[in-house]
A = this chain, B = another copy of it.
Amino acid sequence: MAISLSTLQRLPAYLRILKSLENEEYVSSTLIAQKLNLSNIQVRKDLACVSTSEGKARLGFNREKLIEDIEAFLEIDNTTDVIVVGAGRIGQALMQYKNFENNVNIIMGFDNDLRKCDNKKVFPLDKLQSLVNRMNIHIAILTVPAESAQEVCDLLVRVGIKGIWNFTTVHLDVPEDVIVKNEDLSASLMLLVKQLRKENE
């Protein structure tokens, strides 16, 4: 049975909780659920999807083993190189962001307005094709202005990018085999404000 996206999205949170409980040999689904405000049944079901060994009645799951299992499932060890396209403030902040997991490595940026970003080089967009091909890149972080978002996206698709983390406010039109993950900061904050107002009604 394929894992659901909902389950997949909870795995990183489980991993964090497990890692934070340094002194425990066993961790129960009840404890994890409590810390994340989820139901223990849900946690158990999720873990059943990725765990290679069974939990122990009365004790819970072996913490180290479970961490290994989740990391193996998420393929944390296998590093993928990604690029940032658009070296504005957000793009630069992401290029310098230190907390990405080990499975991801931002190797360079692209922008027609050349800048240097710590130890990461920024190349002009006309170098995109050759560098993406040579370095075998399939994922791009898109942080260009809204006006050029679709145009640059089309370019990314043309050079063979298959996954786009989209920080622009534009809904990108892409072929079926390309995955876009939208990270519309403007919409996110607007919705948080709205939700909070609703709470207070």
Contact = CB atoms under 8 A, between A and B. Distances in A.
A151 interface: no
A53 interface: no
A138 B186 contact: no
B185 A97 contact: yes
B75 A170 contact: no
A189 B93 contact: no
A94 to B, nearest CB: 7
Interface footprint category on A: 35 or more
- Tell me how many chains of this kind the complex includes: 2
A191 interface: yes
A148 interface: no
Interface of A: 8-9, 12-13, 16-17, 35-36, 74-76, 78, 80, 82, 89-90, 92-94, 96-97, 99-101, 103-104, 138-139, 141, 146, 162-163, 165, 169-171, 173, 177, 179, 181, 183-197, 199
A190 B199 CA distance: 32
A113 to B, nearest CB: 16
B89 A93 contact: yes
Most chain B CB inside 10 Å of its own CB: which residue of A171, A181, A199 = A171
A8 B97 contact: no
**7 A-B pairs with least C-beta separation:** A12-B187, A93-B93, A89-B93, A163-B196, A101-B190, A99-B186, A181-B192
A101 B82 CA distance: 29
A13 B180 CA distance: 14
